Amino acid sequence: MASLENDSERSQFLKCPVCLEMFNNPKVLNCGHSFCESPCLVSIAGRSAFLKCPECRVVTKVPENDVKNLPTNFSLLRAISEEKDNRNTCTSTCERHNRVNNIRCYTCEVDICKECIQDGHSLNSHDSDITRALDVTSTALFSVQEFRRMLREKHAEVEEAETSAVNKWKEISHKISQSANCARDEINEIESAMLMRLELETEADKQTFVTEKDQIQEMITTILNLKRRRK
């Protein structure tokens, strides 16, 4: 059971720390903090792939760049629903004791007065605000732990995929280097063959020029000898 005097504290627990209003479809981040999907997280994250918690600055990956895909805090939703139901219940007067029913029994789902407690409506057999808060917190922590476990598994999958990709890149790089080396060897062989052919042709041309020069010189010598004989 919880006194209506504690309603303000319970209401604060159900308010978004950004807009200070009662949560609207609360979404839980990696750090465990919850915020309204709209307008709070929508205005903060937009269409970004990552989101920093407004309270602790821990980064959360936004699935498909849309905050609506973040995990919903169903424990908060249930607590909000109960709070709204309680607010819709008007304060009544105890028919037995003619006292204001300023205490809510969550187990019986009825409002009672202090005299009812003294008259046998035992506190020991009912849920307290602390127990209910612990249940909500425990459920939220379980959701966070489960989400973190999923993240660790996803992280391991990404690391495995990264390792596989790196090995594949190394294999492709090695094949490219081998192909390039083979191509260079072939080019070097072609270059050597062409240079050798050029050298042979150059030597042949040089020999031809020498022969022609010798023949011309021989003709000049013959002409000069003929002139001397005539004299």
For residues 110 and 102, give the distance between their C-alpha atoms in angstroms, rounded to a whole number: 10
Looking at residue 5, what is its pLDDT?
Answer: 44
Looking at residue 89, what is its pLDDT?
Answer: 54
Q: Write the DSSP symbol of residue 100.
A: B
Instruction: Output the pTM of the full model.
Output: 0.37
**Residues 137-159 pLDDT 10s:** 666 666 777 777 888 888 888 88
**Amino acid, res. 32:** G
Q: Which two tokens stand for residue 187?
A: 């080019």
For residues 50 and 67, give the distance between their C-alpha atoms in angstroms, rounded to a whole number: 10
Looking at residue 105, what is its pLDDT?
Answer: 72
Domain ranges (residues) in the chain: 9-88, 90-122
Looking at residue 138, what is its pLDDT?
Answer: 65
In the chain the beta strands, taken as DSSP E runs, fall at: 2-3, 26-28, 34-36, 50-52, 59-61, 103-105, 110-112
From first to last of the 231 residues of the chain, give the pLDDT tens digit.
Answer: 444 445 556 667 888 988 888 898 999 999 999 999 988 998 888 888 898 998 999 999 999 989 999 999 998 888 888 877 766 555 677 878 777 777 777 666 677 887 777 776 655 455 555 556 566 666 666 677 777 788 888 888 888 888 999 999 999 999 999 999 999 999 999 999 999 999 999 898 899 888 888 888 888 888 888 877 776
Class of domain 9-88: alpha beta
Looking at residue 189, what is its pLDDT?
Answer: 92
Q: With beta carbons less than 8 A apart as the criterion, state whether 58 and 44 touch.
A: no
Looking at residue 3, what is its pLDDT?
Answer: 45
